[in-house]
Amino acid sequence: MIESFTTDAIWISIAFLAGYLAKRVHLPPLIGFLATGFFLNFMGISEGNIAIQVLSEIGVMLLLFIIGLKIEIKSLLQKEIWASASIHAVITTLFFATLITLATTLGLAGFTAISFKTALIIGFVLSFSSTVFTIKILEERGEVNSFHGKIAIGILVTQDIFAVIFLTATKGEWPSILALGLPFYLWSFRWIFFRLLKSIDHGELLTLFGFFAAFVVGAMSFEVVGLKGDLGALVIGILLGNHKRAKELSVHMGGFKDFFLIAFFFEIGLSGLPDWGTLLMALVLVVLVVFKTGLFMYLFTRFNLRARTSLLSSFSLSTYSEFGLIVAALGVHAGWMDSQWLVAIALALSFSFLMASPINHRAREIYNRHKATLMRMNTIRIHPDDEPSNLGDAEYLVCGVGRIGRMVYRQLLAEHPGKVISIDYSKSMVENAQSQGKNVIWGDVTDSNFWQNVDLSEIKMIFLAFTNHKSNLNTSMELNKIDHSHIKIGTVCEYRDQARELHENGVDFIYNYREQVGKEFAKEFMLYHHAEEARTEELS
């Protein structure tokens, strides 16, 4: 027992230190977790592999469940998503398979020759992009709900569906006849779950509900009928995705998913140590990420997306995938490929994160610098992500239609009817607001093109009312690049360091709601108290 606790303490300590150091140099912590697995393997500390494997499986299922909660089925049916993902997967798989077959036939990097069929599996693995990395990057930039963010997430979900289908098909056995009853079974649980979510509080019961939905109703039911449990977790997430508490459940389960996925990255590191040949192969593969990124950029523009949307989406997808490692691990377990390939792919994954992280953090800067060249890729047709240039008679512009933006819009509309307009980069939120008769339009206010092309001559005030600080900050940075001397800009924030950032980027008025809520509460309560006292005196 003591030795077990000692081993666990070593894993946790090294993982925390490695993850912290990775974060300090602006890299995803999971790079540190991968490094921890390789380090532990190098040091010969590999006890508890079975426990790590179980924890990693839990992490993967939770990952798929949370992805399912965020899926908008309607968006997956758009050709720029399903067609781009499908064509990209086919071309990338064939491209990598051809190069790998040629390289191993020539004996490069010490890898033994493999068949083209095996090379196709490896190429399929390399065609995926990292879900964890992409979501983290979009969250850090405040762009999860942006148009290009939705495109990237849609591509990831489509890729994950491809992978889950592959994993299910390679189990080597036909599903049970009972699988035909799954739609009725799941739909009945959806009805029950929707009602349960209305009555469950925000604490431990919500946590237990998430695990029950993902593992028991989702994964276990699929396993029982001979289907891959991962697919069940994804499907039950999709069925719950349009509930009004789906976002809360996703956030609530996200911490557990992140923790359990640490074991997955440990497991990859413990799978084997790289030699010089494996390291060389990984470096070659990471250079070839440029091909994946460029192909995404080309396909997106051919499907009529603007160059900016295409570039930002492509940069977000410019990695190899942790889910691809799952497929690779299956290939090693089934004897289709040598474990040397799993190590090479794991290293290539880490290196792709190292390369993609700084590029994504400078994505807007790169676009603005090369805008003239990149815009030549635009088609001459109307684009689904074209932005407005006319704000009508509006004098007050509200950026964001989330929780804060809705309240700002309502207050301004009461005082200045017909003079208020809102804008947001989430098409689903905009469509919902428009269905309620609100003057809301779609546009990306973090896009320099929008501010350069839109007519702001009548606008007096701009309210940056996104609930995400990064969105407000990015918008203020773009506003800072144009002449807006006749416009006052106000925004909200939660912390003092955020207020400093916003002030440095030219925001005129900053409302720190964390500090102000106590003052507002005291003020409103005192007004209520005095009104009650006055009413009592009148009655007496």
Domains of the chain: 2-42+51-377 (1.20.1530.20), 396-527 (3.40.50.720)
The torsion angle over the Cα atoms of residues 450, 452, 457 and 462, rounded to 10 degrees, is 50
Per-residue pLDDT tens digits for 118-163: 899 889 989 999 887 887 788 777 777 778 888 998 898 888 778 7
Rounded to an integer, the average pLDDT of 34-57 is 70
Beta carbons of 271 and 340 less than 8 angstroms apart: no
Which pLDDT score, from 0 to 100, does residue 226 have? 72
84: pLDDT strictly greater than 90: yes
Rounded to an integer, the average pLDDT of 363-384 is 83
In terms of average pLDDT, the best of 326-335, 341-350, 414-423 is 414-423
pTM here is 0.75
Distance separating alpha carbons of residues 384 and 80, to the nearest angstrom: 10
Task: Name the pLDDT band for 2 (thresholds 50, 70, 90).
Answer: very low
373: pLDDT strictly greater than 80: yes
Task: Name the pLDDT band for 109 (thresholds 50, 70, 90).
Answer: low
In terms of average pLDDT, the best of 170-179, 186-195, 272-281 is 186-195
The burial class, CB within 10 Å (0-12 / 13-18 / 19+), for 258 is: middle
Share of the chain above pLDDT 70, in %: 92
| Six token digits for residue 271 | 């799978």
Which one-letter DSSP state was computed for residue 114? -
Chain mean pLDDT for the chain: 83
1: pLDDT strictly greater than 50: no
- More confident position, 116 or 266: 116
Per-residue pLDDT tens digits for 175-213: 667 777 778 888 887 888 888 888 887 778 888 888 888
290: pLDDT strictly greater than 90: yes
Which pLDDT score, from 0 to 100, does residue 422 have? 94
Beta carbons of 464 and 472 less than 8 angstroms apart: yes
Which pLDDT score, from 0 to 100, does residue 430 have? 87
Which one-letter DSSP state was computed for residue 215? I
Rounded to an integer, the average pLDDT of 28-56 is 71
Rounded to an integer, the average pLDDT of 514-522 is 86
- More confident position, 486 or 110: 486
**Element containing residue 491 per DSSP (H, E):** strand 488-493
Which pLDDT score, from 0 to 100, does residue 171 have? 58
CA 322, 328, 333 angle in degrees (round to 5)? 130
255: pLDDT strictly greater than 80: no
Count the helix, strand and coil residues of the chain and give each as a percent rounded to the nearest 5.
70, 5, 25
> What amino acid is encoded at 53 in this protein?
Q
Which pLDDT score, from 0 to 100, does residue 414 have? 92
Which pLDDT score, from 0 to 100, does residue 4 have? 57
172: pLDDT strictly greater than 70: no
Which pLDDT score, from 0 to 100, does residue 69 have? 80
Which pLDDT score, from 0 to 100, does residue 312 have? 92
Residues 6 or more apart whose CB falls under 8 angstroms from that of 382 comprise: none
Task: Name the pLDDT band for 38 (thresholds 50, 70, 90).
Answer: confident
81: pLDDT strictly greater than 60: yes
DSSP secondary structure, 229-271, as one string: HHHHHHHHHHHHTTSTTHHHHHHHHHHHHHHHHHHHHHHHHTT
Per-residue pLDDT tens digits for 526-537: 888 888 888 887
- The residue behind tokens 């396909």 is 299
395: pLDDT strictly greater than 60: yes
- The residue behind tokens 């009817």 is 417
Query: Range with the lowest mean pLDDT among 13-17, 323-327, 439-443?
Result: 323-327
Beta carbons of 389 and 454 less than 8 angstroms apart: yes
Beta carbons of 444 and 423 less than 8 angstroms apart: no
Per-residue pLDDT tens digits for 293-336: 999 999 999 998 888 889 999 999 999 987 777 777 777 777 77
- More confident position, 219 or 53: 219
Sheet containing 396-399: order of strands: 440-442, 420-424, 396-399, 461-464, 488-493, 509-512
Beta carbons of 324 and 345 less than 8 angstroms apart: yes
464: pLDDT strictly greater than 90: yes
Q: Given phi > 0 = left and psi -120 to 50 = alpha, else beta, which region is 229?
A: alpha
223: pLDDT strictly greater than 90: no
Query: Range with the lowest mean pLDDT among 259-273, 466-480, 495-509?
Result: 259-273
- The residue behind tokens 């090479």 is 344
Which pLDDT score, from 0 to 100, does residue 155 have? 92
- More confident position, 327 or 467: 467
Beta carbons of 331 and 337 less than 8 angstroms apart: yes
Closest by CA to 452, choosing from 491, 487, 484, is 484
93: pLDDT strictly greater than 90: yes
Closest by CA to 138, choosing from 383, 317, 321, 385, is 317
